[in-house]
Amino acid sequence: MTQSLTLALETSCDETSAAVVMNGRTILSNIISSQVPTHQKFGGVVPEIASRKHIETVITVVDQALAEAGTTLADVNAIGVTYGPGLVGALLVGVATAKALSFALNKPLIGVNHLEGHIFANFLAHRELEPPFVALVVSGGHTSLVHLKDYNELVLLGQTRDDAAGEAFDKIARVMNFPYPGGPYIDNAAKQGNPSAIAFPRAFSGKAGENKFAFSFSGLKSAVLNHLNSAAQRGETISIPDVAASFQAAVVDVLIMKTIAAAEHAGVNQIVLAGGVAANSSLKTELALAAGKQGLTLFYPPPVLCTDNAAMIACRAHYQYLAGEFADLNLNAVPSLKL
């Protein structure tokens, strides 16, 4: 097999990342410059600041990715870039940079859907993994179940009707005074808590019909906020670990139930986790148990490939490259790009 090098850029939110991946599966470099400390003092991502930071950092990050991979722009076969979904000003920095590189070097340009990238992170982490499978994509902005029939054949089975799972984690964490992004802090606090302490709602559980593979987390978010407010009003001491564990259990229960049902519906024997919330320890452990009982094999990436990174974008771009799915210089950022 001739060697194919993909250089990819990811700037959809608050990480500026560039990576070089060989033949779609081998990471030669994956440079991630996080803006988290910058946004932390505002309690969330400030879009204007994110775009400005991407502009300041993107070229350095590309240079580092090439240097660490021991390659040059001349040796790269294709350039992949996230063009949505995400923050428009942030996406545009990556898209404009990738278009400039593609034009100047006369190399193919490939526009990548960020959510597909998250799923493909599993191909980097697991050499043996091949389609078909069902993927649960759980990130700060999305909660979706996808049937990946083949590398370039993805079918959306269902998604959230309101908040994303990660968004719920971050909003609850904020009222508990944890830093942004709060998901990992809730994960940690929950380890000390009792997941059955408070019976928070499990939305759409057991629902058939159009909500069979749909999610809703805004009711759960309100229930947790009400619980915290009314306990404070009554002057009761709140056990943060118990609230964290009970909230997390409500999210994880629904995610697991729907993922197992989706695998059965799609007739696959493999499931994969993707997106930032895939780093959640309870989700990984509980889903592994549930999958095992059903004879399903579970795959998930290591934490560094769960959150935003350009290696996953390069992996996705490689399979689009093989399928001849190229973009032209009219490629634009699409903030609400669907799967």
Among 160, 307, 318, 339, binds ligand KG4 (CB under 6 A): 307
Between the two ends of the chain, the Cα-to-Cα distance in Å is: 30
Q: Which is nearer to Zn ion, 138 or 224 (CB)?
A: 138
User: Can you read off the two tokens belonging to residue 307?
Assistant: 């959150």
Q: Which is nearer to Zn ion, 163 or 242 (CB)?
A: 163
Among 80, 84, 276, 301, binds ligand KG4 (CB under 6 A): 276
Q: Which is nearer to Zn ion, 5 or 317 (CB)?
A: 317
Residue 308 CB, shortest distance to Zn ion, in Å, is: 4
User: Can you read off the two tokens belonging to residue 239?
Assistant: 């056990």
Q: How open is the CA angle 293-259-257, to the nearest 5 degrees?
A: 70
Q: Would you say 193 is a known binding-site residue? A: no
Q: Would you say 187 is a known binding-site residue? A: yes
Provide DSSP, 131-199.
S-EEEEEE-SS-EEEEEEEETTEEEEEEEBSS--HHHHHHHHHHHTTPPSS-HHHHHHHHTTS-TTSS-
Q: Would you say 139 is a known binding-site residue? A: yes
Residue 101 CB, shortest distance to Zn ion, in Å, is: 22
Interface segment toward ligand KG4; rule CB under 6 A; list 60-68, 94-102, 138-146, 327-335: 138-146
Size, binding site for ligand KG4 by CB under 6 A? 19
| Residue 24 near which of ligand KG4, Zn ion, none (CB within 5-8 Å, type-dependent) | none
Residue 34 CB, shortest distance to Zn ion, in Å, is: 13
Q: Would you say 280 is a known binding-site residue? A: yes
What residues make contact with Zn ion under the rule CB under 5 A?
139, 308
Residue (of 305, 339, 301) closest to 144 by Cα position: 339
| Residue 200 near which of Zn ion, ligand KG4, none (CB within 5-8 Å, type-dependent) | none
Burial class (CB in 10 A: 0-12, 13-18, 19+), 126: middle
Q: Would you say 227 is a known binding-site residue? A: no
By CB under 6 A, what part of segment 88-107 binds ligand KG4?
none
What mask of x and - would describe binding to ligand KG4 in positions 10 to 49, judged by CB under 6 A? ---x------------------------------------
- What are the angstrom distances between the C-alpha of 192 and each of 185, 236, 245, 276, 293? 12, 19, 8, 22, 26
**Paired strand residues for 154:** 148
Residues 6+ apart with CB under 8 A from 215: 143, 158, 159, 160, 161, 165, 203, 204, 254, 255, 258
CA distance 117 to 209: 29
- What are the angstrom distances between the C-alpha of 293 and each of 21, 142, 201, 260, 282? 35, 27, 25, 10, 17
Residue type at position 112: V
Among 80, 84, 94, 181, binds ligand KG4 (CB under 6 A): 181
Interface segment toward ligand KG4; rule CB under 6 A; list 18-26, 87-95, 201-209, 274-282: 274-282
Provide DSSP, 227-270.
HHHHHHHTTPPP-HHHHHHHHHHHHHHHHHHHHHHHHHHHT-SE
Residue 243 CB, shortest distance to Zn ion, in Å, is: 26
Q: Which is nearer to ligand KG4, 131 or 141 (CB)?
A: 141
Our finding on whether 286 is near ligand KG4 (CB under 6 A) is no
Residue 86 CB, shortest distance to Zn ion, in Å, is: 8
Among 84, 131, 184, 193, binds ligand KG4 (CB under 6 A): 184
Q: Which is nearer to Zn ion, 38 or 239 (CB)?
A: 38
Residue (of 281, 286, 282) closest to 271 by Cα position: 286
Is residue 18 within 8 Å of 71, Cβ to Cβ?
A: no
* Residues at the contact surface with ligand KG4, assessed by CB under 6 A: 13, 139-141, 166, 169-170, 181-184, 187, 275-277, 279-280, 307-308
- Residues comprising the binding site? 114, 118, 137-141, 170, 183, 187, 280, 308
